[in-house]
């Protein structure tokens, strides 16, 4: 069975500072990896995805993530955050050839302070 | 058009009411999903439709009844709900294969 662990439930950071949101996964088969962002009272927006190939993936809003197979991690990074990045961030995995069922982590609340 | 549209945005219903949530996408995606999300929690999968056929039911109570009339539409029929069913209900769609899911803005449901 798959599982996703987001290591930090809350990450406070000052504006223009770098940030890393950590995600580890467990699966006995190959997976696809995703990061979603959810702003208050809204749905989820896909930030980026890793399917195969280059382990460094660039997404929208200046975010990027690096897939590390040996450490089963997929950490999200941004070199300089803005107030508008304040939101909930979810890491998710999906087994290759397993329909579309996404398994989500518990989420990380990113709070950017001025 | 890269949107998944959900209606209504908000819904308040009594425990004896029957209501329906609607979801529409025009991206040609053949997989569509219903998720339930409680406050401060990740979305939980309820149902998956693939090519208009129900492929996954995550042991959801029968008071929730999904329907996929065609490849663009997904409904969730609600009957005799309980207050604990109050949540944000999210619809999503994805292309077959490797794509990520696109989510709608959700319907905020309150059962009174």
In sequence order, the 6+-apart residues with CB closer than 8 A to the CB of B49 are B31, B32, B33, B55, B66, B68, B74
Q: Specify the pLDDT at position B79.
A: 95
What is the mean predicted confidence (pLDDT) over B58-84?
Answer: 96
User: Looking at residue A99, what is its pLDDT?
Assistant: 65
Are B9 and B89 within 8 A, CB to CB? no
Q: What is the dihedral of CA A82, B88, B8, B70, to 10 degrees?
A: 100
Sort out which chain B residues have CB atoms less than 8 A from A104's CB and list them.
42-43
Pull the structure tokens for residue A78: 């941004």
Band the pLDDT of B88: cuts 50, 70, 90. Answer: very high
Give the residue from A49, A57, A59, A54 showing the smallest Cα distance to A85. A59
At A30 the pLDDT is 86
- Please identify which residue in the block is written with the tokens 């401060």: B40
**Beta carbons of B102 and A34 less than 8 Å apart:** no
CB B82 within 8 A of CB B62: no
Q: What is the pLDDT of residues A14-29, one digit of tens each?
A: 999 999 999 999 988 8
- Rounded to a whole number, what is the distance in Å from the CA of A114 to chain B's nearest CA? 24
Q: Does the structure show a pLDDT above 70 at A102?
A: yes
Alpha helical stretches, state H, chain B: none
Mean pLDDT within B24-28: 93
Question: How many CB pairs lie under 8 A apart between chains A and B?
Answer: 52
Residue that the structure tokens 């999300």 belong to = B37
| Angle, CA of A90, B44 and B42, to the nearest 5° | 30
A61-95 pLDDT per residue, tens:
999 999 999 999 999 999 999 999 999 999 999 88
């Amino acid at each position: 069975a798959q599982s996703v662990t987001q290591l930090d439930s809350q990450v406070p950071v000052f504006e223009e500072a770098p940030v890393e949101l950590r995600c580890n996964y467990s699966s006995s088969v190959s997976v696809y990896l995703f990061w979603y962002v959810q702003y208050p009272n809204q749905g989820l927006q896909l930030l980026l995805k890793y399917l195969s190939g280059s382990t460094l993936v660039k997404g929208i809003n200046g975010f990027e993530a690096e897939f590390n197979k040996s450490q089963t991690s997929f950490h999200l990074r941004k070199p300089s955050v803005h107030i508008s990045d304040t939101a909930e961030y979810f890491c998710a995995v999906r087994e290759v050839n397993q329909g579309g069922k996404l398994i989500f982590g518990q989420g990380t609340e990113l709070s950017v302070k001025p | 058009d890269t949107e998944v549209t959900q209606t209504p945005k908000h819904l308040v219903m009594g425990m004896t009411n029957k209501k329906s949530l609607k979801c529409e996408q025009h991206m040609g995606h053949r997989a569509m999903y219903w998720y339930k999300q409680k406050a401060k929690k990740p979305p939980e999968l309820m149902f998956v439709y693939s090519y208009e056929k129900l492929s996954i039911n995550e042991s959801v109570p029968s008071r929730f009844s999904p329907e996929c009339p065609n490849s663009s539409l997904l409904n969730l029929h609600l009957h005799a709900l309980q207050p604990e069913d109050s949540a944000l209900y999210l619809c999503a769609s994805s292309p077959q294969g490797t794509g990520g899911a696109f989510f709608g803005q959700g319907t905020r449901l309150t059962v009174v």
